[in-house]
Amino acid sequence: MITSQPPTSLDFPLSGNVRIRQVALFLAMSESTVHRRVKDPGFPQPVRLSSRLVVFDAAEVRRWQERSKTG
């Protein structure tokens, strides 16, 4: 039986663009919560690349996670 392992910070890229599902898994929150957090000042803002493709900057997400751990 194959079991799914939770993602680690090693699975999350240091730079580049990531989809909301990757952000949610990395930050251990639901996609709905990520959508809500986008409204908070200081949370990484998504970039719309096309009408159906929205991405986040991986480095920004990592910086936000570090700040939220220490703050």
pLDDT tens, position by position, 17-38? 999 999 999 999 999 999 999 9
Say yes or no to pLDDT of 5 above 70.
Answer: no
Residue 20 DSSP one-character state: H
Q: Residue 42 is part of which domain span?
A: 17-70
11 falls in which pLDDT band (50, 70, 90)? confident
- Number of domains within the chain: 1
Q: Identify whether 51 is part of a domain.
A: yes
Beta-carbon neighbour count of residue 27 at 10 Å?
18
Q: Identify whether 22 is part of a domain.
A: yes
pLDDT tens digits, one per residue of 34-67: 999 999 999 999 999 999 999 999 999 999 999 9
pTM of the model: 0.83
